[in-house]
Structure 1
């Protein structure tokens, strides 16, 4: 479906089989009119791409807690079954191959019912989905930033075509629930019938361009990688995909399923504390680091570089590239890390030395090292503008350091919310009994308890215990949804103390059930503003 035909996704009134509203029916009728194109094509490939385009018209949208792809897709199947036209049967035939598992089952039943009534089938119906995979390749840059994965297919030896999938490996999902993290995000996909020319171009570029590589892949491993990368894209809110990606999403999903199972995704290498320390020591002892004057600041900076590569680059601390270095300097550091003034000045120089050293360790071509260094120097001025030391906003450095002993800059607002002692009326000063309040360490649980007693004079031990449990969770960001909910309630007009008690109520009610806690916080975030 063309971009001018795309609409906001209809509601889910048809999910339980009830006829949709007139507005929703009009949208589905528009899709069925578009499906008439299926009656004019002869190629199953063309038919699949048209159906994928129709299914992609609502890809990426959400309806409350429901998945639009399921809700609207199944409602469209019901609508097509009621329409009973040849175009509706053609659309159902395509959905029976390209849809989700539930959509496929419903579409197949509806299509069989129309065939029993004598509705004419399109000529390509017997061949749709009857594809066989051939070979898989990857054209990748030497930096490891992105892969163009190429999978070739035929319909019984005819209509050879290639699916090209762009996987951004700078976008790596963190592991969760014991699963391996995604090794990239699918950001684009397209189809080419000029398979020979495409492969010849990639082979030639791999031979002549020192910054590109072209290799053949195991189809089983290709399926595993693409499934995880596509799942990461699907799970990301507003993923940075190409504008036309939705049109290819259903086709891509089906072609990935056509690859053989049994493959494995690469796992990140383990980098424990000792191994990270050895890497840092090796770097600081190298010729590349010899000119770094402040060794203490250099050590702290290189620790951040290594941590970023391990935690946010799929366990690849030695990988360097222009894009990765720009993301580190202009995105991650300004949002995540509290740097001292000497570290702010040193970090571009340490990063440049690291690029030269790590490039030598990994065999990065000299052209790649030079391009990465150029990117660092281009970003250095922008880094000075992007990095905002909290002390520049009137917050005393000593107080900021007390709230951020771990240097986690993004923790500052939630910790200041939990222990609001940075501004005048909340400032920790004077004495509380025999305790000098200005010496209390908010990172120490015992000292936090004293602060809470200071904020809640005369409160019972049980009441203080509840506040202490909440404060500890906010301090640690456990779970992240806790602070997200507090911000949402602040935005609609709730006072801080009201919010604290709402959060305490949720924590007490959910106990150790983390899934229920996240669900309850989601509900609380949408609470109406106070009167």
Structure 2
């Protein structure tokens, strides 16, 4: 008998049926004369719950319509999905399913997202890090607005908050007041609906491209309606394409930066930091890759600390000097107002200071039992232990965690973090023998390096590093030498012959 893969369990099926039944009940409470905006809000909230949970129940509901025992109960949700489902494919499928039912629709069905577009406004900070867009729909007392917050520090711009507001005129007044009270740090201006469409559509794409975007509860609730309102705007205005710097242009930009940054030493390490800043800008701020802003530069530091942007130790050390100089040069290059420059520099220096505190905190864990050592001896301990455990941060089961390497159990988790391919098997307790031995060897090796016992392990590592091998290559060779000698001992524990192991280490490098 051929086994069908990943069959849905009866429990999952029941859960899905219950959710669909709950949706049908909610729509049954909406009579034919319900206010279209109320229907849109109910639908958007339901779609938001599905989106947040990672479930595509909209597709299931559409498929269910073909064989539903009570098809009249499907008319209202299908009519709502025809207008508000986030994807064009689902909207078309909902419309086709509704046509096949051939039943009368509620009075509100054809009024969904049929709105009169009014004025559109935009506020922005002077750096270009943050923007809020307000679009007004309808007139008079029945008017409502869509307010979306967009950040441009990462992902080319993405929306993290969206809300439907009842009194758009009051929001416009607040936006204008905020700009007036900010001096030169915030601008507020009317924009065309086509420009608003372009800004919002791009921002929603930036959010959807992320696996787990950090958005507000309001974004989840109003997401589907916000996207629908965006589709009701006139065609988006064209914008400049992303700016791609050639290698020659990157080199010229770096030269220009160092000519302007007179107090910054022009070293290879500093130039690499400048290059990484340019590369970061082209990836995450492609239309204005050289723009500087507090949020954008803080995001760059975050990615460096997370390991997403790789710097050597030497490059990392000079970053503290490069970053403020880059911010000041960029501010001058972009002709930022004078009263915007100092807040920018202060924000960058504050982030560097926070980073130094984070570094000191992690160093304490590496040197917890080395308080009585002199500076040279402490530096040697730090070098060895940071080779064993390069970072106190790792990712376990999709979650980033900070751990204490001085604690043996947490140190083991840091090793496991270096083996994401083993994590599912470990969680299900079905790790195969080969993988178990490999992980056991790596874990034991790290403990040996941490304690410097036997000292021959670190000596062998240093010889391999001198030959030009990278850390991962050195760890692999050392762990392999240990793994080959691991044997099952009493109580299913693992043992190895120390003398044989030391001879193998001596042969390395």
Question: How does the TM-score come out when normalised to structure 2?
Answer: 0.64
Q: What is the CA deviation profile of residues 229-277 of structure 1, one whole-angstrom value per residue up to 9, with x for unaligned ones?
A: 3233223211111123222122122222212336334423222222222
CA distance in 2, matches of 1:379, 1:353: 14
**2:177 match:** 204
CA distance in 2, matches of 1:62, 1:224: 26
The answer on 1:242 being equivalent to 2:216 is: yes
Match of 1:141 among 119, 122, 125: 125
Q: Is the 8 A contact 2:154 2:296 kept in 1?
A: no
Compare 351-360 and 263-272 and name the one that shifted more.
263-272
**CA drift at 1:27:** 2.0
Match of 1:394 among 364, 367, 384: 384
**1:280 match:** 254
> What does residue range 31-180 of structure 1 map to in structure 2 within 5 Å?
31-39=23-31, 42-62=34-54, 68=56, 70-75=58-63, 77=65, 82=70, 84-85=72-73, 88-99=74-85, 100-109=87-96, 111=98, 116=103, 122-154=106-138, 159-172=142-155
CA distance in 2, matches of 1:358, 1:45: 46
Q: Is the 8 A contact 2:163 2:218 kept in 1?
A: no
Q: Which runs of 5+ in 2 are unaligned?
A: 1-5, 367-379, 391-416, 420-437, 450-456, 482-509
Aligned residues: 392
CA distance in 1, matches of 2:325, 2:276: 14
Residues 76 and 252 of structure 1: CA distance in aligned 2, closer, same or farther (over 3 Å):
farther
Q: What is the CA deviation profile of residues 175-196 of structure 1, one whole-angstrom value per residue up to 9, with x for unaligned ones?
A: xxxxxxxx31121211123122
Residues 285 and 107 of structure 1: CA distance in aligned 2, closer, same or farther (over 3 Å):
closer
Q: What is the CA deviation profile of residues 459-484 of structure 1, one whole-angstrom value per residue up to 9, with x for unaligned ones?
A: xxxxxxxxxxxxxxxxxxxxxxxxxx
CA distance in 2, matches of 1:382, 1:188: 27
CA distance in 1, matches of 2:316, 2:225: 47
CA distance in 2, matches of 1:95, 1:263: 27
Secondary structure of 1:189 counterpart? strand
**CA drift at 1:362:** 1.0
**1:487 match:** none
Q: Which runs of 5+ in 1 are unaligned?
A: 1-10, 15-19, 173-182, 401-411, 431-436, 457-531
Q: Is the 8 A contact 1:55 1:73 kept in 2?
A: no
Q: Is the 8 A contact 1:150 1:165 kept in 2?
A: yes
Residues 108 and 142 of structure 1: CA distance in aligned 2, closer, same or farther (over 3 Å):
same
> What does residue range 401-480 of structure 1 map to in structure 2 within 5 Å?
424=457, 441=468
Q: Is the 8 A contact 2:258 2:266 kept in 1?
A: no
**2:21 match:** 29
**CA drift at 1:131:** 1.9
Secondary structure of 2:311 counterpart? coil
CA distance in 1, matches of 2:32, 2:101: 19
**1:377 match:** 349
Residues 242 and 73 of structure 1: CA distance in aligned 2, closer, same or farther (over 3 Å):
farther
**1:314 match:** 286
Q: Is the 8 A contact 1:98 1:104 kept in 2?
A: yes
Residues 22 and 372 of structure 1: CA distance in aligned 2, closer, same or farther (over 3 Å):
same
CA distance in 2, matches of 1:441, 1:311: 31
Secondary structure of 2:196 counterpart? helix
**1:465 match:** none
Q: What is the CA deviation profile of residues 402-457 of structure 1, one whole-angstrom value per residue up to 9, with x for unaligned ones?
A: xxxxxxxxxx979xx9xx99984995899xxxxxx8775559xxxx9xx99xx99x
Q: Is the 8 A contact 2:62 2:78 kept in 1?
A: no
Compare 76-85 and 26-35 and name the one that shifted more.
76-85
Match of 2:200 among 213, 222, 226: 226
CA distance in 1, matches of 2:50, 2:172: 33
Secondary structure of 1:152 counterpart? strand
Question: How does the TM-score come out when normalised to structure 1?
Answer: 0.62
The answer on 1:251 being equivalent to 2:221 is: no
CA distance in 1, matches of 2:300, 2:289: 12
**1:270 match:** 244
Q: Is the 8 A contact 1:220 1:259 kept in 2?
A: yes
Residues 160 and 236 of structure 1: CA distance in aligned 2, closer, same or farther (over 3 Å):
same
CA distance in 1, matches of 2:302, 2:97: 53
Residues 357 and 235 of structure 1: CA distance in aligned 2, closer, same or farther (over 3 Å):
closer
CA distance in 1, matches of 2:8, 2:271: 59
